[in-house]
Amino acid sequence: MKNKDNNIAYIDAANLHKGIKNQGWSLDYVRFRVWLREKHGVQTAYLFIGLVPKYKDLYTTLQQAGYVLIFKETIMDASGMPKGNCDADLVLRAVVDVFETNFKRAVLVSSDGDYAVLVKFLLERNKLRAILSPHKKDKCSILLKRTGAPITYLDEVRTLTGSEKEKAPNADGTAPGSFS
């Protein structure tokens, strides 16, 4: 059953990637986008991500899957790894959307406690549908848990969003089974 709400997802790409990777499984971003639309009524899915030129093919694939990419310039940390902190950009986009965009509710994809103030802001305005935590329950920030917002842990919906071979998507790209 498809959810027809006009909801927006705000996705911290680094937090999503690291949370799933640390659990030893892979997220199928195409199936995840379908699941966001069908389960949470997400019409627009903003993916906040650091801009690293060598990943241009990944960016194209994500855009083709239906994500709106919001790039953050990156710098290299001491170990030579790219770093692009997207937290402020995500919060600002969400606040602007509350005041300027006609949408029903927001879905936040992150386990980062830095977003607790955003969650409280959205809750006060009845604009939060759910938090989707890429980390397991014991690794999700206590600051997010204390908000009282509904949290879904992505490992609990792994069969719907993961890239495991035993649950191939249907011919139309949707995940098999019920989303209710």
Which sequence spans correspond to the domains of the chain? Answer: 7-167
pLDDT digits (tens, 9 = 90+) for 140-173: 999 999 999 999 999 998 888 877 543 444 445 5
- DSSP letters of 115-180? GHHHHHHHHHTT-EEEEEESS-TTTS-HHHHTTT--EEEGGGGHHHHB--GGGPPPTTSPPSS---
The CATH architecture that domain 7-167 belongs to is 3-Layer(aba) Sandwich (3.40)
Beta strands 82-83 and 106-109: pairing type?
A: unpaired
pLDDT digits (tens, 9 = 90+) for 119-148: 999 999 999 999 999 999 889 999 999 999
Picking from 106, 116, 107, 137, the residue whose alpha carbon sits closest to that of residue 19 is: 137
Strand order in the sheet with 106-109: 67-73, 42-51, 7-12, 106-109, 128-133, 151-153
